[in-house]
């Protein structure tokens, strides 16, 4: 499908962007992509100046949360160009999320043209290392209807944001955060929607996340609903541990998000000769292995967080359990972080073919 381009003349930020002073999620670049689904097909695809759109108060998304989204990044390359990291994976996960939420899918080619075209249009907003451009595709149900049913009209849109460090405001040490272990709540269950990216999965985490933030913590670690309370993932990242020098991460059993960072870190670890085991610790096992020093590192992996160390596991009763040396990102976490960022910023060969250039983007 042809994407119309209607760009503003003033394409670059008025002053150079500084990754250390741009809080995640608040500054938008000047263009967005939008397309509408009606009568069984996508139409009207365009990249245009960012503007608000109006919604009927009866739009299905506002009542029954029929929404899916993605999170991905574009990185400034050494030659001044811009590259997206594994965008096909986001395109496919967006399709899987849409199917689960009874929504139409966006064909991979349209998704890729939308995100690559937008990163190209707003390439002046892709900050240099350690900054990047965060890309947020989303789809909402727009049909005005108060019956509980799937919409027959949708809007697919993409906004982008220059992004510094996700945890810039909370980070208590060099690349590590403290997390709250959620014993009183679950975010997913077998047969639910934990393995797709839909708004409601996040709305339900806000209450306990607010508690965590109020206690000076940065994220929440969720456990499954089984009597063993097995470790699943964080509110917005997958979780990994280092035990006896090997990487351990919960398997993709249908209740956690198949993270693209997770997949990339696993690939990098195997390539480095680090053993990888997919296993979900029970809460009792996790506490015992952290206390005994078998687990030496924990990390949060995601597009926004990249690889951030977990310094302390905190419990709802106030107890705090330091992980490993409890300072910053551990040695193996840091190695994987450096490898990943090296590829993303084009400092190391793209040996797995993960980068896609936003065609004509130049600094
Ligand atoms: N888990 C959840 C719940 C997330 O929201 C995210 C972020 O998108 C991730 C894991 C990590 O996924 P990815 O690495 O694809 O960003
Ligand atoms: C991401 O890492 O892209 C996320 O979506 C996590 C969070 C910002 C919701």
| Structure confidence by residue, pLDDT tens digits, 192-228 | 999 999 999 999 999 999 999 999 999 999 999 999 9
Token representation of residue 337: 């972080």
Ligand 2 midpoint to CA 39 (Å): 32
Task: Identify the residue with better confidence: 253 or 182.
Answer: 182
**Residue written as token pair 């190391």:** 348
How far apart are alpha carbons 41 and 96 in whole angstroms? 18
If one residue of 24, 199, 259, 341 were mutated to test the ligand 1 pocket, choosing by the most ligand atoms within 8 A of its CB, it would be 259
271-292 in b/e burial notation, b at 16+ Cβ within 10 A? eeebebeeebbbbebbbebbee
pTM of the model: 0.96
How far apart are alpha carbons 209 and 26 in whole angstroms? 19
**Residue written as token pair 């508690």:** 211
Give the H/E segment covering residue 5. Answer: strand 4-5
Q: What single-letter DSSP state applies at residue 356? A: E
Question: What band does 131 get if pLDDT is binned at 50, 70 and 90?
Answer: very high
135 φ/ψ angles, rounded to the nearest 5 degrees: -115, 125
Q: What single-letter DSSP state applies at residue 127? A: P
| Ligand 2 pocket member 162 (CB < 6 A) | no
Ligand 1 midpoint to CA 164 (Å): 17
Name all domains of the chain by residue range, CATH numbers in brackets. 4-164 (3.30.470.10), 176-344 (3.20.10.10)
| Ligand 2 pocket member 302 (CB < 6 A) | yes
Task: Identify the residue with better confidence: 27 or 166.
Answer: 27
Assess whether pLDDT exceeds 90 at residue 16.
no
Query: How many residues comprise the chain?
Result: 363
- For residue 19, the model assigns a pLDDT of 85
CB 34 within 8 A of CB 156: yes
Assess whether pLDDT exceeds 50 at residue 363.
no
pLDDT over 70 for what percent of the chain? 96
pLDDT in tens, 30-85: 999 999 999 999 999 999 999 999 999 999 999 999 999 999 999 999 999 999 99
Q: Is residue 91 helix, strand or coil?
A: helix
Average pLDDT on 244-270 reads 97
Ligand 1 lining (C-beta closer than 6 Å): 71, 233, 236-238, 257, 259-262, 302-303
Query: Which of 7-11, 236-240, 286-290 shows the lowest mean pLDDT across its residues?
Result: 7-11
Sign of CA dihedral 90, 96, 99, 104: positive
- For residue 361, the model assigns a pLDDT of 43
Question: What band does 172 get if pLDDT is binned at 50, 70 and 90?
Answer: very low
- For residue 9, the model assigns a pLDDT of 72
- For residue 339, the model assigns a pLDDT of 97
If one residue of 257, 303, 336 were mutated to test the ligand 1 pocket, choosing by the most ligand atoms within 8 A of its CB, it would be 257
Assess whether pLDDT exceeds 90 at residue 15.
no
Ligand that lies nearest to the alpha carbon of residue 302, given by its number in the listed order: 1
How far apart are alpha carbons 264 and 250 in whole angstroms? 15
Ligand that lies nearest to the alpha carbon of residue 196, given by its number in the listed order: 1
Assess whether pLDDT exceeds 80 at residue 171.
no
If one residue of 236, 258, 263, 344 were mutated to test the ligand 2 pocket, choosing by the most ligand atoms within 8 A of its CB, it would be 236
- For residue 362, the model assigns a pLDDT of 41
Q: Comparing C-alpha atoms, which of 89, 168, 76, 156 is closest to residue 122?
A: 76
Looking at every residue in the chain, the average pLDDT score rounds to 94
């Amino acid at each position: 499908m042809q994407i119309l381009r209607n760009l503003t003349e003033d394409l670059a930020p008025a002053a150079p962007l500084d990754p250390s002073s741009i809080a995640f999620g608040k500054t938008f670049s000047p263009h967005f992509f939008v397309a509408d689904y009606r009568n069984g097909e996508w139409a009207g695809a365009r990249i245009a100046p960012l503007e608000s759109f109006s919604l009927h108060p009866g739009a299905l998304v506002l009542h029954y949360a029929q929404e899916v989204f993605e999170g991905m990044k574009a990185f400034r390359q050494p030659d001044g160009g811009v590259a997206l990291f594994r965008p096909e994976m986001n395109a496919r996960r967006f399709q899987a999320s849409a199917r689960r939420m009874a929504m139409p899918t966006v064909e991979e080619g349209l998704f890729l043209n939308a995100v690559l075209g937008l990163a190209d249009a707003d390439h002046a907003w892709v900050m240099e290392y350690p900054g990047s451009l965060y890309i947020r595709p989303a789809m909402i149900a727009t049909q005005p209807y108060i019956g509980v049913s799937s919409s027959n009209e949708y809007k697919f849109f993409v906004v982008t944001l220059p992004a510094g460090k996700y945890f810039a405001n909370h980070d208590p040490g060099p690349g590590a955060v403290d997390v709250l272990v959620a014993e009183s709540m679950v975010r997913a269950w077998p047969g639910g929607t934990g393995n797709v990216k839909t708004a409601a999965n996040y709305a339900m985490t806000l209450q306990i996340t607010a508690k965590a933030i109020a206690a000076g913590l940065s994220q929440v670690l969720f456990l499954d609903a089984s009597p063993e309370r097995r470790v699943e993932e964080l509110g917005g990242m997958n979780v990994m541990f280092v035990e006896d020098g090997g990487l351990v991460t919960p398997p993709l059993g249908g209740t956690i998000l198949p993270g693209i960072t997770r997949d990339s870190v696993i690939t990098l670890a195997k390539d480095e000769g680090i053993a990888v085991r997919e296993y979900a610790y029970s809460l009792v096992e996790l506490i015992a292995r952290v206390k005994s020093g078998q687990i030496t590192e924990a990390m949060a992996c995601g597009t926004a967080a990249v690889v951030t160390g977990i310094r302390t596991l905190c419990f709802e009763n106030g107890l705090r359990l330091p992980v490993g040396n409890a300072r910053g990102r551990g040695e193996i976490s840091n190695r994987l972080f450096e490898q990943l960022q090296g590829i993303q910023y084009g400092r190391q060969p793209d040996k797995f073919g993960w980068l896609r250039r936003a065609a004509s983007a130049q600094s």
